[in-house]
Amino acid sequence: MGTKKEDEEQGRALYLGLNASDINNDAIIRECVASIRKLFELGEPQFFEYNITLHGKAVKFQIKIIPASYSDEFALVVVEKTDVKEIVDDRWSLALDAVGDGIWDVNLQTNRIFFSPKWEEIFGYSQKEIVTIDDWGAKIHPDDLIASAGIMKDLLAGKIPIYTSEVRYRCKDGSYRWILSRGVVATYSEDGKPLRFIGTHKDIHERKLQDLVHIEDKMRYKIIFDNSLGIICTHDLQGNILNINPYATSVFQYTYDELIGKNIVDLVPAKIKNEVQSQYLDLIKTNPTAEGELSIVAGDGSIKHLLYKNYLFNNPDGEQYVIAFAQDITERIHTEAELRASEKTFATYFNLSGTGMAVVSPQGKWNAVNDALCKMLGYTRQEFYELTFQDITYPEDLDRDLDLMQKVLNNQADNYSIEKRYITKNGKVTWMLLTTSVVRDAAMQPLFLYPSWWI
C-alpha cells in the first residue's frame, strides 16, 4: 500500500474522466449511478450507506448525492467514512471551478470554516480572514441575516434536506454582492447531531439586480394600474380578460371576479359582436397596435362608449397578450348627440321662422341669414355675405348701433334692442326693431352675434 497522496493520484488516474456507468465492476459506483438518476428524475437528494472490507477492516461509507447549485445537469457526490470525512474531488468540483462557484466546508464541532480558492476570489478575502462561523455570519447583510439563520436552523434540526438562501454578502472592498448559498449536512454523530455542513456560494448579483429592477417596475405599474382614472386591462388573443383595474370595474359596473375570464365579445352589443371579432380580435394577432371606439354593455344594461388604444406584447415565456388602455367617452357622446339635436332644432326654427334672423361675426360679417330676412330687405343670401350690416344701415343710425354693439362685445351687456332704419335692395328706407344677443366662449370672448328683426 502506498502513501495517502499516492493512493489519491492512483485513484484519479484510474477513474477521472470516465462515465460513472463505465465503472461497472464496482458495486458502489453502480449504486451511485442509480441514485444520481433518481436525483435527476425526482429532484430530491439521495442518501445511502455502503459497507466494504478495506485492508482487512470493515469500513462503512455514507454517500450523499445532491443537486449542484450552478446547473441542473450536475450532481454533487459526498462520500463519508466513519473515521475519515472528505469531499470527493471528482468532475463536479472541476465544473464548480469552471463556472466560478465558491465551495465552503463548516466543522460544527470546532466552529471552523474552510473556503475554496474560488470563494476567496469572489469575495476578496483570504483564508486567514474568515476562519470561524461567526466571521462568516458577520459578513452577511443585517437585513438578510435573520432569514438566513432561520433556514440554517431548520436544516440542522432536520426539518429541511437542503439549505438554500439568497443573501447579500459583504466583500472585502466594502461592497455587497448577492449570492445563492446552498448546502447540506454532510456528517452526523452516532446520536444524530450534525457535525459537518458543506455547500456552495454562487454569485447571482447581476441577475438579482435585474430581478429587483423588474420588481420595482412591477410595483410602479401596479400603482398606476390600481389608481388610474383610465380603463386598463389585459386580454389574451381570443379576447378573454386576464386582468382589469378598479376604475374599469366601476365604469362597467361589474365586479372584478365577474370580468376575469369573460370574453370582450360577450360585453359588446349584439349588433357589433361580429365586427369586434373580425375587425379587432382577428387583426390584433398580427398588428402591434389597434385603436378606435368601442361600445360596452354595462352591468346595469346601459351602454358605455370607449375610446381605446391597445398594444400587443409578449410575456417572458413568449406567449402573446394585449394591454388595453381606454377612456370612458360616454358623457361626450351623449353631449354631442344632444348638441346635434339642439342644432337641428335651432336650424329648423331659424329657417322656418317668420322673424328675420342672422348670425353675424364680431366684425359685422354675415355668417348666416334666414329666408324671412332676405324677404324683408330684398337681398339674396349671397348678396348678404358680400356685405356688412354697416353697409345696409341708414347712416344717421349707424353710430348709435355701433356704440350699443361695442358694449355687448366688451361684456358690458348681454344684449340690446334698438329701432333703426335699413336700406333695402331697391333703395327704400324701412324702419325695423333690432334685438341682438351675443354668444361667448368659455373665456367669455364673443364668438358671434345673434340679431333678430321685426318690421
* Encoded amino acid at 142, one letter: P
- The whole-angstrom distance between residue 416's C-alpha and the CA centroid of its chain comes to 60
Torsion, Cα 370 374 380 385, to 10 degrees, reads -60
Are 228-333 and 353-454 the same fold in CATH? yes
Query: Where in the chain are the domains?
Result: 23-208, 228-333, 353-454
pLDDT attached to residue 304: 94
**Contacts of residue 272, Cβ cutoff 8 Å, sequence gap at least 6:** 295
Q: From CA 134, how far away is CA 279, in angstroms rounded?
A: 67
pLDDT attached to residue 393: 93
**According to the CATH classification, is domain 23-208 in 3.40.50.720?**
no
**Contacts of residue 287, Cβ cutoff 8 Å, sequence gap at least 6:** 312
Q: From CA 166, how far away is CA 153, in angstroms rounded?
A: 16
pLDDT attached to residue 356: 92
pLDDT attached to residue 187: 84
**According to the CATH classification, is domain 353-454 in 3.30.450.20?**
yes
Q: From CA 259, how far away is CA 263, in angstroms rounded?
A: 8
Kindly report the backbone phi and psi dihedral angles of residue 75, in degrees, each rounded to the nearest multiple of 5, phi listed first. Answer: -125, 150
Other CB atoms within 10 A of residue 223 CB: 10
> DSSP letter at 315?
-
pLDDT in tens, the chain (455 residues): 455 556 556 555 555 555 555 554 466 677 777 877 887 787 777 776 666 656 656 566 667 777 765 566 777 676 666 443 343 344 344 444 444 467 888 888 888 887 777 777 788 888 778 888 888 888 899 999 899 889 989 988 889 988 999 999 898 888 888 888 888 888 888 888 888 888 888 888 888 877 777 767 777 778 878 888 889 999 999 999 999 999 999 999 999 999 999 999 999 999 999 999 998 999 888 888 999 999 999 999 999 999 999 999 887 778 899 999 999 999 988 888 888 887 787 788 888 888 899 999 888 889 899 999 999 999 999 999 999 889 999 999 999 999 999 999 998 998 999 999 999 999 999 999 999 999 888 888 898 898 999 88
What's the CATH architecture for 228-333? 2-Layer Sandwich (3.30)
Cell numbers representing residue 30 in the block: 453502480
Cell numbers representing residue 432 in the block: 325695423
Planar angle of CA 194, 32, 70, nearest 5 degrees: 70
pTM above 0.75, yes or no: no
Q: From CA 408, how far away is CA 180, in angstroms rounded?
A: 80
pLDDT attached to residue 96: 46
